[in-house]
Amino acid sequence: MVAGVLLLSVGLVVGFAVGWAVGWRTGFREGRSTIPLATIRALATHLRVCEGAPPEAVIERLRADLDLDADEARRSVEVIPNEVPARASPLRRIG
């Protein structure tokens, strides 16, 4: 019984240490949190398609708002699936 509790305690401490080390390496030490890549790409797609921003402006906004490296921001803008070339308006007049 005591060995099981001890083993469980050691497992929890090791698990916490591994999680902390991964968080430290991914940016928590600099006050950043990790943002899923799909969310960054969705934001880049929204800025390009809905707001009609040029790629350079989207890259600068991602770098400024999300504190991304230039290469990461550029890759997020380059990979935009199903991009609509013109701004689509949901409130079009019919007729």
The first and second tokens of residue 78, run together, are 């380059």
Q: Which residue shows structure tokens 């803008």?
A: 77
In a domain, 45, yes or no: yes
In a domain, 87, yes or no: no
In the chain, the number of structural domains is 1
The first and second tokens of residue 74, run together, are 């550029």
In a domain, 62, yes or no: yes
In a domain, 3, yes or no: no
| Residues 87/50, Cβ–Cβ less than 8 Å | yes
Report which of 66, 63, 74, 59 is spatially closest to residue 31, judged by C-alpha positions.
66
> pLDDT digit string (tens) for 36-70?
778 888 888 888 888 888 889 989 998 888 878 88
> pLDDT digit string (tens) for 15-28?
999 988 787 676 65
In a domain, 93, yes or no: no
Full domain range(s) for residue 63:
35-80
The pLDDT of residue 94 is above 80? no
